Amino acid sequence: MLTFGPVLDDRSCCTILCIGAHCDDIEIGCGASLLRFIAEQSATGNSVACHWVVATSNPLREAECRASAEHFLAGAEEKSVTIWSFRDGYLPYVGGEVKDAFERLKCEVHPNIVFTHYRHDLHQDHRLINQLTWNTFRNHFILEYEILKYDGDIGCPNFYISVHEGQVNRKVEFLLRHYPSQHSHSWFTPEALTAITRLRGVEANSSTGYAEGFYARKVCW
């Protein structure tokens, strides 16, 4: 059973910052964990503020992302969705502009928990987002999520969040419903999206059989 107590500092409201390079990254990487955490905090009378930030987009993908985020964040008392318009695949080549956007974000959001990309992810956009997350939110509790893809860069997580099968099913349902532009990809299937949570569930010895895996590079108690 995971407890987020150490990062809440006895406050009744937890602020979560989710950062993704692309419009479906957050949902794929930590969608079921968000569904679980928001539901559990609400059930115990604690409020959740969730800020959802995506770096690259175009009009079609932005519309998909906003519709998806609305479902994933439905239980949060406070929520915001920020979608920048940087070009997919080119983030390292406009790194100064992305850095400026992160500096503005630092002034606007003060999170207890930050979800971001895995530092050894082989996608160049993902790596830059990770680097700027750590550069910008260096004194925060950061969990790095993983994205299943062709490159074969899945590693060995050291932090797991157990999730229920229903939460996994909702995550997959929302992804498939709201991202029709991604249906042609071989990894964007119910089987693939569910398989990684089942694998991490085995590794975590989860009582539910399912989990999402993360990388906690530095945790200060």
What are 83-138's pLDDT values in tens digits?
999 999 999 999 999 999 999 999 999 999 999 999 999 999 999 999 999 999 99
pTM over 0.75: yes
* Residue 43 CB partners (closer than 8 Å, separation 6+): none
pLDDT tens digits along 171-205 = 999 999 999 999 999 999 999 999 999 999 999 99
* 219: pLDDT strictly greater than 90: no
User: How many degrees, rounded to 5, is the angle at CA 70 between CA 67 and CA 76?
Assistant: 170
Question: Quick count: other Cβ atoms within 10 Å of Cβ 63?
Answer: 15
pLDDT at 12: 64
* 32: pLDDT strictly greater than 50: yes
pLDDT at 104: 97
Q: Find the mean pLDDT for residues 2-25.
A: 74
All domains of the chain in start order, with CATH: 5-215 (3.40.50.10320)
pLDDT tens digits along 136-185 = 999 999 999 999 999 999 999 999 999 999 999 999 999 999 999 999 99
Residue 178 to residue 25: CA distance in whole angstroms: 13
Q: Are 49 and 73 in contact (CB under 8 A)?
A: no
pLDDT at 120: 97
* 2: pLDDT strictly greater than 70: no
pLDDT at 140: 95
pLDDT at 11: 53
- Cα–Cα distances in angstroms (integers) from residue 79 to residues 14, 56, 148, 160, 175, in the given order: 12, 20, 27, 25, 19
pLDDT at 114: 98
- What is the average pLDDT value for the chain, to the nearest integer? 94
Q: Are 211 and 196 in contact (CB under 8 A)?
A: no
pLDDT at 181: 97
